[in-house]
């Protein structure tokens, strides 16, 4: 009898333990950890820096024209004739001409692209330019003439709208003649204020609004060389005070 009771107790203990263990596992443990990596950081480089050269070319040597690399073409070999504005552009960048430069362009209004020129070894002829009011593109020229075996002159004539010669303000020498003829709007010769040498004839005539004294003042300032002949006539009559020494 006691034996049967012990066996029943053992059975209850065994199955009771299993049931407890099973109950514990049935309740279970659910891992609800839903952590996710939500890092949405982005690294965007928006560096849009640009290096734009907006430097303006400047004249650093005081000669009135651009410097260095702005005038890369050197000497033009031979004669050059400008018939139109495109001819002015074709000569841009040259610093000198070994022959004659003839500007005969009824429709030209701007010579600024000739700013690199510093010398013309032959004749500089400026004639029949109906619309040209100034010679500002020639402000770098310091000498005319001196070419081997050539007749060299500065010849300015029949320019109906030309009011001044200020574009020739750097011109210091003419190895030949100076002739200024029939420029009806020309009022002064202040642009020749740097001229100090010439060795040919000096002729200023038939410029209706140009006082004779303007021509005589240019003669007075010449201190090296003497003109071979002087002809100043048929300009605007005036009374000079004082009378220039070289006025005819």
Q: Quick one: pLDDT at residue 30?
A: 45
Residue 98 lies in a domain: yes
Measured between alpha carbons, how far is 81 from 76 in angstroms, rounded to an integer?
Answer: 12
Is residue 2 over pLDDT 90? Answer: no
Q: Which ranges of the chain does DSSP label H, i.e. alpha helix?
A: 2-27, 85-90, 212-221
Q: Quick one: pLDDT at residue 222?
A: 79
* Whole-model pTM over 0.85: no
Which range scores top for mean pLDDT: 7-16, 22-31, 186-195? 186-195
Q: Quick one: pLDDT at residue 69?
A: 61
Q: Quick one: pLDDT at residue 72?
A: 94
Q: Quick one: pLDDT at residue 226?
A: 65
Q: 9 or 165: whose pLDDT is higher?
A: 165
101-103 and 124-127: which strand pairing? parallel
Provide the mean pLDDT of the chain.
78
Q: 154 or 16: whose pLDDT is higher?
A: 154
Residue 155 lies in a domain: yes
Measured between alpha carbons, how far is 114 from 141 in angstroms, rounded to an integer?
Answer: 10
Q: What pLDDT digit, counting tens, does each position of 78-111 carry?
A: 999 999 999 999 999 999 999 999 999 999 999 9
Residue 8 lies in a domain: no
Residue 135 lies in a domain: yes
Residue 200 lies in a domain: yes
Residues 6+ positions from 81 with CB-CB distance below 8 Å: 87, 102, 104
Work out the average pLDDT over 205-210.
Answer: 95
Is residue 159 over pLDDT 50? Answer: yes
Is residue 1 over pLDDT 90? Answer: no
Is residue 67 over pLDDT 80? Answer: no
Residue 43 lies in a domain: no
State the CATH number of the domain containing residue 75. 3.80.20
Q: 49 or 218: whose pLDDT is higher?
A: 218
Q: Quick one: pLDDT at residue 229?
A: 84
Residue 9 lies in a domain: no
Measured between alpha carbons, how far is 1 from 103 in angstroms, rounded to an integer?
Answer: 148
pLDDT tier for residue 24 given thresholds of 50, 70 and 90:
very low
Q: What pLDDT digit, counting tens, does each position of 103-152 carry?
A: 999 999 999 999 999 999 999 999 999 999 999 999 999 999 976 545 67
Q: 213 or 60: whose pLDDT is higher?
A: 213
What order of strands is seen across the sheet that includes strand 119-120? 74-76, 94-97, 119-120, 143-145, 173-175, 197-198
Q: 139 or 30: whose pLDDT is higher?
A: 139
Q: Quick one: pLDDT at residue 148?
A: 55
Residue 34 lies in a domain: no
> What total number of domains does the chain contain?
1
Which structural domain range is residue 128 located in?
A: 68-233
């Amino acid at each position: 009898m006691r034996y049967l009771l012990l066996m029943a107790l053992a059975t209850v203990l065994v199955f009771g333990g299993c049931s407890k263990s099973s109950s514990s596992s049935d309740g279970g443990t659910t891992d609800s950890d839903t952590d996710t990596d939500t890092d949405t950081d982005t690294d965007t480089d928006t560096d849009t820096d640009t290096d734009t050269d907006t430097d303006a070319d400047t004249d650093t040597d005081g000669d009135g024209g651009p410097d260095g690399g702005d005038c890369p073409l050197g000497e033009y070999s031979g004669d050059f004739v400008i018939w139109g504005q495109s001819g002015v552009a074709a000569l841009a960048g040259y610093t000198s001409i070994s022959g004659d430069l003839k500007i005969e362009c009824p429709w030209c209004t701007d010579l600024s692209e000739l700013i690199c020129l510093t010398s013309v070894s032959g004749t500089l002829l400026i004639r029949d330019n109906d619309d040209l009011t100034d010679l500002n593109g020639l402000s770098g020229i310091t000498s005319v003439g001196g070419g081997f075996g050539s007749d060299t002159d500065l010849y300015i004539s029949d320019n109906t709208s030309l009011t001044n010669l200020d574009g020739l303000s750097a011109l210091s020498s003419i190895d030949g003649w100076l002739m200024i003829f029939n420029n009806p709007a020309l009022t002064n010769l202040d642009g020749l204020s740097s001229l100090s040498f010439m060795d040919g004839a000096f002729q200023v005539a038939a410029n209706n609004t140009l006082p004779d004294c303007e021509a005589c003042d240019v003669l007075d300032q010449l201190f090296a060389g003497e003109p071979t002949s002087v002809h100043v006539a048929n300009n605007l009559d005036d009374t000079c005070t004082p009378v220039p020494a070289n006025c005819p």
